[in-house]
Amino acid sequence: MVLTVKTVNEVNQIMPPIYKIGPDDEVDELELELEFQASLTVDQRYRMMINASRTILKMLIDNGHKKPFEIIKRT
């Protein structure tokens, strides 16, 4: 068995730090979210957006919404 030693930077790239905020503290929660988003690269933000879109699409299909909403003209 081979053990490798990882530096703090390597560990932080694999596992981001866990932050704790007080209960129902909306200001701290917003600041934390903005700080997190600012720390991401553009590529990471796009990947998160695409993954979220895929998750929403999967949820819609799973719940029977295969087609987007349509407006039907009445005559």
Q: Both tokens of residue 27?
A: 């200001």
Q: Is residue 13 part of a domain?
A: no
Q: What digits encode the pLDDT tens for the residues 1-10? A: 455 555 555 5
Q: Under a CB-based contact definition with an 8 Å cutoff, are residues 21 and 29 in contact?
A: yes
Domain count for the chain: 1
Whether 27 maps to a domain, the answer reads no
Mean pLDDT, rounded, of the chain: 77
Q: Is 41 within the bounds of a domain?
A: yes
Q: Is residue 58 part of a domain?
A: yes
pTM: 0.51
Confirm whether 6 is domain-assigned: no
Contacts of 28 (CB under 8 A, 6+ apart): 21, 22
Q: Which residue range forms the structural domain that includes residue 45?
A: 37-66
